[in-house]
Structure 1
Amino acid sequence: MNRFHVHLNVSDLASSVRFYSKLFAAEPTVLKSDYAKWMLENPRVNFAISNTGRAPGVDHLGIQVDSEGDLAELGHRLDAAGGAVVPEEATICCYAQSDKLWTEDPQGTRWETFHTLGDATTYYAADAACATDGAACSPDVRSVKPKVDKGTGCCAPQSGCC
């Protein structure tokens, strides 16, 4: 089952953790010095906050999927929506290893669709080959030419980072 994802940038992680822990009536599933995540069942959402140097507010929205097939299906839907789709395979971000597809809606809101493969020991892995901005683990979609799978015309994750 897919899970809605929201990632907020916050200026004070500790007070934000206290606030959201009370709001959700649950402690974070992941808590680091610069990041916290709640994997909630009601509502079914992956809610994350971080204070990694970006302006406070909504960083991006997304959909977390359970399988590679689900990610490929969402990739086809993103492609049909008409925006540039930027794949990242086996990327390290938010203390997790994931395959991802990024896009932006017509207003410029960044959307991340992803399949988590496992945990990671760092917030992000700096990789010169990746299109990420480092602090937020997310690409500047407008500045990256997306890779397209010539066989399907879509955006399934490919070997390499981006």
Structure 2
Amino acid sequence: MNRFHVHLNVADLAGSIRFYTQLFAAEPTVLKSDYAKWMLEDPRVNFAISNTGRPAGIDHLGIQVDSTEELAALGPRLDAAGGAIVPEEGAICCYARSDKLWTEDPQGTRWETFHTMGEATTYYAGEAACATDGAACTPDPRAMKPKVDKGSACCAPQSGCC
């Protein structure tokens, strides 16, 4: 079953954690010095907040799926929606390991569709392992510079990104 995902950048992490803990009547399921996440069942949402130096507000929206097959099934839907699709395999982001497909809606809101395979010890993998500029967990599809995969005639983003 799919789960809606919302990621907000916040200026006051502690105050925001208190607010959302009361709003959701639940403690965060993940709590780090710069990040918190609630995996809620009612409503079914993966709600995350972070304080990583970005402007406060909506960072991105998304759909979390339970399997690689469900992620692959979202690809044609994203393609039909008309945005550029940027895949990330084995991404380290938000203290988790995930395969992802990124796009943007017509207003420029970033959308992340993803399947999480496990936890990670860092917020993101860092620049050395990144397909994008390494500066953020959520790549800007318009600004991504994919590397050329020497084993293929096509370009593909490097795996293990943000």
One fold, TM greater than 0.5? yes
For residues 17-47 of structure 1, give each alpha carbon's deviation from its aligned partner in whole angstroms, at most 9, with x where no partner exists. 0000000000000000000000000000000
After TM superposition, the runs of 4+ consecutive aligned structure 1 residues lying more than 2 A away are 127-136, 144-147, 157-162
TM-score (norm 1): 0.88
The secondary structure found in structure 2 opposite 1:143 is coil
Letter in structure 2 aligned against 1:144: M
Count of aligned pairs: 153
Contact 1:85 1:102 in 2 (8 A): yes
Look up the match of 1:27: 27
The secondary structure found in structure 2 opposite 1:5 is strand
Partners of 1:116 and 1:20 lie apart in 2 by 23
Alignment of 1:1-162 (within 5 A): 1-128=1-128, 130-144=130-144, 160-161=159-160
Change (3 A) 1:130 1:52: same
Contact 1:86 1:102 in 2 (8 A): yes
- Unpaired runs of at least 5, structure 2: 148-155
For residues 129-152 of structure 1, give each alpha carbon's deviation from its aligned partner in whole angstroms, at most 9, with x where no partner exists. 5244545311111123679xxxxx
Partners of 1:24 and 1:96 lie apart in 2 by 22
Partners of 2:104 and 2:26 lie apart in 1 by 31
Give aligned-pair identity as a percent: 80
Letter in structure 2 aligned against 1:75: G
